């Protein structure tokens, strides 16, 4: 039986892993994706992590993983499908068929992109529909694209794409953007970004690839088509917590309820990173969560 199983190998999971090794805990990191880093792997620049200004997300993920490897962190490439109580701890069912027994669990499963849930979205994913501007933007050099959403990610995506595409439509369902004022200023200053406000996307159309989107102005009720080659969807994140639904308390969006110590509603189950209820979901807060969770695990194990 492990002391702790860390589910997820993004910044929160790897942060927890190095603290667990240094605390001499018998630990394993479960990595579903087959690579470490979580969401940062798809991030162009991470410019707000102390001491590493301008590092690419990929390089940051590699350096986090190297640090874990130096400490001989044990990794297992499987998906956890269920967690159940077991005498003295928990039993984790996995996609590989083997069960894993552990005294404690740190859930560091992060979050994924939300879908827009409109006609054509699934059909054209990878054929013009993308959830990652920095991954797919280069395919749209000199072309026209739409970014859907009004948060920080949508604004960053629109700015990134404005340097590649000939025209970027920023389509947002309200007349006010949610993203940071500093990003808004840059968006409004860009010549080739058009803010399409009060507008929802009703369908993504195409033949082999995307050709246009059907949009509706929610105030004027006017419907029209916008011709685009690419649609970048940036409408927020969804936590990867379905497999523990009903097992630990969550908020209405599916984030696992916990404070900075990572303690959830169930003894011995902890949560770190973007899957936790928190104000600021960033690499630096995810790493800190991992460290805090291990401190909580140690306290808990001493009480067993
Ligand atoms: P977000 O802040 O939740 O914004 C999501 C946007 O999508 C909102 O504008 C929302 O509209 C819109 N939206 C949601 N569902 C929609 C739907 N069904 N149809 C149309 N529009 C929809 O998410 P995010 O931009 O992905 O950012 C996630 C978190 O990461 C945030 O906390 C953000 O601050 C943080 N972040 C920080 C930085 C940075 O500090 N540099 C960079 C990136 C992200 P409404 O505004 O109408 O709700």
pLDDT in tens, the chain (304 residues): 999 999 999 999 999 999 999 999 999 999 998 899 998 887 767 778 999 988 998 999 999 999 999 999 999 999 999 999 999 999 999 998 999 999 999 999 999 889 999 999 999 998 999 988 987 899 999 999 999 999 999 999 999 999 999 999 999 999 999 999 999 999 999 999 999 999 999 999 999 999 999 999 999 999 999 999 999 999 999 999 999 999 999 999 999 999 999 999 999 999 999 999 998 888 999 999 999 999 999 999 998 7
Rounded to two decimals, the pTM is 0.78
Q: From the CB of 183, is ligand 1 less than 6 Å away?
A: no
* Ligand 1 midpoint to CA 294 (Å): 30
Residue with tokens 């991954």: 135
Does the annotation mark 132 as catalytic?
yes
Full DSSP string of 94-128: ETTS--EEEEEEEE---EEEPP---BTTTTTBTTT
**Nearest CA among 46, 196, 47, 203 for reference residue 121:** 203
Angle ∠(257,259,265) on CA atoms, nearest 5: 45
**Closest atom of ligand 1 to CA, residue 155:** 25
Tell the CATH topology of 115-233.
FAD/NAD(P)-binding domain (3.50.50)
Distance (Å, rounded) from C-alpha 159 to C-alpha 192? Answer: 10
Catalytic residue among 122, 135, 249, 261: 135
* Ligand 1 midpoint to CA 165 (Å): 22
CATH architecture of 2-112+237-302: 3-Layer(bba) Sandwich (3.50)
Q: What are the residue boundaries of the structural domains of the chain, listed by start?
A: 2-112+237-302, 115-233
Q: From the CB of 37, is ligand 1 less than 6 Å away?
A: no
């Amino acid at each position: 039986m492990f002391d702790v199983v860390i589910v997820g190998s993004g910044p929160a999971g790897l942060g927890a892993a190095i603290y667990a090794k240094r605390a001499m805990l018998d630990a394993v990191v479960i990595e579903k994706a087959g690579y470490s880093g979580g969401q940062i792997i798809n991030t162009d620049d991470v410019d707000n992590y102390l001491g590493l200004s301008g590092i690419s997300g990929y390089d940051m993920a590699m350096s986090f993983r190297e640090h874990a490897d130096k400490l001989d962190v044990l990794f297992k490439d499987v998906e956890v499908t269920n967690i159940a109580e077991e005498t003295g701890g928990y039993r984790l069912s996995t996609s590989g068929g083997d069960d894993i027994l552990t005294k404690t669990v740190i859930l560091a499963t992060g979050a994924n992109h939300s879908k827009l849930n409109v006609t054509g979205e699934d059909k054209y994913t990878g054929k013009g529909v993308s959830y990652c501007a920095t991954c797919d933007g280069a395919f749209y050099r000199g072309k026209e694209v739409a970014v859907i959403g009004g948060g920080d990610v949508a604004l960053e995506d629109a700015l990134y794409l404005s340097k590649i595409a000939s025209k970027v439509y920023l389509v947002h369902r309200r007349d006010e953007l949610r993203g940071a004022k500093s990003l808004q200023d840059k968006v409004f200053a860009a010549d080739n970004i058009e803010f399409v406000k009060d507008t929802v996307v009703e369908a993504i159309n195409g033949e082999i690839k995307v050709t246009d989107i059907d949009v509706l102005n929610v105030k004027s009720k006017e419907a029209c088509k916008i011709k685009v080659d690419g649609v970048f969807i940036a409408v927020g994140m969804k936590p990867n917590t379905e497999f523990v639904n009903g097992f630990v308390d969550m908020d209405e969006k599916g984030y696992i309820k916990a404070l900075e110590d990572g303690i959830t509603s169930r003894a011995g189950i902890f949560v770190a990173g973007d899957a936790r209820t928190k104000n600021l979901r960033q690499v630096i807060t995810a790493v800190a969560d991992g460290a805090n969770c291990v401190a909580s695990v140690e306290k808990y194990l001493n009480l067993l």
